[in-house]
Structure 1
Amino acid sequence: MYALVKTGGKQYRVAKDDTILVERIAAEEGDQVVLDNIIMLGDGDKVTVGTPNVEGAGVSATVMRQTRGPKIIIFRRKRRKNHRRTQGHRQDLTLLKINDIAEDAKKLAAPKVAAKKAAAPKKAAAPKAEAAPKAEAAPKKAAPKKAAAKKASAAAPKKAAPKKAAAKKK
Structure 2
Amino acid sequence: MNYAIVNIKGNQFKLIENKYVYVPHISVKSGNKIMLNQVVMFSKKGIPFLGNPFLENISVQIEVLQHIIKGKKIIIFKKKRRKGYKVKNGFRPIFSKIKVISFLEKK
TM-score range, shorter chain: 0.7 to 0.9
Of the two structures, which has the highest relative contact order with CA contacts closer than 8 Å and spacing of 6 or more? Answer: 2
Q: When you count helix as a share of all residues, which structure comes out higher?
A: 1
Gaps of 5+ in 1: 107-170
- TM score, norm. by length of structure 1: 0.57
Aligned partner of 1:85 among 65, 84, 87: 87
Residues matched between the structures, number = 105
Look up the match of 1:14.
15
Shift of 1:37: 0.5
Tell me which residue corresponds to 1:43. Answer: 44
Q: TM-score w.r.t. structure 2 length? A: 0.88
SS in 2 for 1:53: coil
Backbone CA RMSD of aligned residues:
1.6
What does residue 32 of structure 1 align with? Answer: 33
Q: After TM superposition, what 4+ stretches of structure 1 lie above 3 angstroms from structure 2? A: none
- How far the C-alpha of 1:77 sits from its partner, in A, is 1.4
Q: Distance in 2 between matches of 1:82 and 1:47?
A: 55
Percent of matched pairs sharing the same residue: 29
User: What is residue 99 of structure 1 aligned with on the other side?
Assistant: 101
1:9-158 → structure 2 map (5 Å cutoff)? 9-67=10-68, 68-104=70-106
SS of equivalent to 2:26: coil
Greater share of strand residues, 1 or 2?
Answer: 2
Q: Give the deviation of 1:30 after TM superposition.
A: 0.8
